[in-house]
Structure 1
Amino acid sequence: MRFIPFVLVAVSWATFAQERQQGMTLAEFDKAKTVEIRSGSPKKHFRSHGLSYRQHETPQSFQFNDGVEHKVSFYDISERTGQSALGQLVVYSSQNRLVTLVLPNETSSKTVKDNFLADLKAQSLTNDGLGICFALALGQATPRTNSALAHPQEFCFPAETFVNLVDGTERKISGIKVGDEITGISANRVEKVVVNEGVFSLTRLLVRPNGQAWVSTRNESGLLSLEVTPNHPVLTLLGEKRVENLQKGDWLFVRDAVTGRYLTAELTNIAPAFRTVDKVYHLQTEGGTYEAENIVVLNKH
């Protein structure tokens, strides 16, 4: 599934934390989950079960290559109008499907956040496109660091890493050239290829797709394997993360080679300092994403 570029604006947990807000309680979380949103043109401001909801942004519209329109809206949730947000009601719609999720703010308890994550995972498995759209929305709002400037060589892949091309073939990253058209969440042209030489420690990730995914390479256990330097950014269900910050059980995204759809995949194993190499490569792409060994990764920043 190829994606047409779009922009979503959401408030991430990190953004909430900056404002020292009151956390959402489990009772408030459960109340917000009972809100009924009808398809069409929901109100921009309403109250339900003692909580106030105000639309945070104009609904965003985007399309996949199937031509189906998808929309995402965000509503700030508070006890009363004018108070700081306890979280957001996320409304995702596509054709006759409408899904709501309650995103608690950063100061909410771990129990509330875990409940949200469980809901997000469940809905991502049954609603094609929801997971990756939500991940990109959070990625838009997450502040990025300047660590790439301090460690320019630490965002790379070994030479034998395979990258998918738009013509359905694949090529080792060492053979990718400027101007090549490679697959990514949006239309992708390689703008820059950077090669670094030295001694580089690689982390190995093993992931298991959540569902049937046609890919070119798997290991003996049916898992996808990716070797990468620790600081490289990847796309997870909760937005962008560096490899060194990943945890076992995190969900990443993989591309099905037959349908082009992006599926979630569970990270089953992380092996730091798996091996060292003397040359590594990274790409800068027009769309900001590409697939290394079928796993969605991001441009370094």
Structure 2
Amino acid sequence: MKTNLLRQFLLLCCLVVLQLVSSRVWAQTASMSLDHLKAIKAIKIGNLEKDTYFKSGDFILDRYEERPAYVFNYSDGIPRKIYLYKVFTAADTKELGLLAIYENGKTKETKPFVIPGASADRKAWDAYIDDLKYVGEKEPGLMSALGFVLSREMALLMGGGTKEEGGEKKKEEYNFCFPADAVVTLADRQTKAIQAVKAGDEVMAYDAQTRQLVPARVREVTIHEKSNLAIAGVWITPVQEVSASLSLTQPVLLEATANHPVQTATGAKKLGDLRSGDVLYRFDGATRSVAAWKVTAAQSNVRTVDKVYNLVTERGSYLVNDVVVLDK
């Protein structure tokens, strides 16, 4: 009897806190439908520790406030973790809600909870409540862990503890794109400004497993318009020349919004996180393959523009200024 009352109390706490959080964080958002909720629940995250920002289908997932997982060590010896992601629509970067991933440290089993925003459809809220009741009650420790995380986030919001003004990250941070004059390498090795690329065009892409260049069809071209969008830049030179202390090749500038992901020797990184010494890959016309180029300088704001572009390809990558970049 006491156990059932405790579970009902925890469920009530989760619902009250979520209503407060959603009213403060998601006042200006897209409305989450039941179909949205089901699609977000079905997203598979390959590495919860490393995959903090990525695009999956029609959605963008971004680790909430860039925080690591909440970790709980219970008396039963089983560690439990809660990972939080903000969820945005990929088309217009409107915020939909939160995705909370619970992980059992012993079984490594994960359970997703999609938390709708304040303007969500009632059916989406009903589905979330059902998950709390029917999934949460079957996993010891889940409800208390989730309840603590949501309560703490609410306390931080009430106290102004988030890093961005008004408790939210600025929407433009989620527009990962290139300026209109960014040069895209086509499959036939010709080039075209990204603003001229159309859905159906074939561009050059990169297969990270084989480390080979491959053709890929453009599925979609996304465009975002906003005054004074900051464009970051990195200057790169061939690794061989850098290691030999030579400077025979003119440095190449790669420009994009600071959060656009690029392929590096250690995996995907946001352009704004690149530092001197990071290794990128660039098409070498002489060998018709990719070569390692090293970052020699970085600048957070090279210029500002009012319109930016991104390509969505079959391979998840393409080349800008012959440098391998990712589309998610």
Instruction: Return the TM-score normalized by structure 1.
Output: 0.47
Larger radius of gyration: 2
Answer 1 or 2: higher relative contact order, Cα 8 Å, separation at least 6.
1
Q: Would you tell me which structure has more helix in proportion to its own residues?
A: 2
> TM-score, normalization: structure 2?
0.44
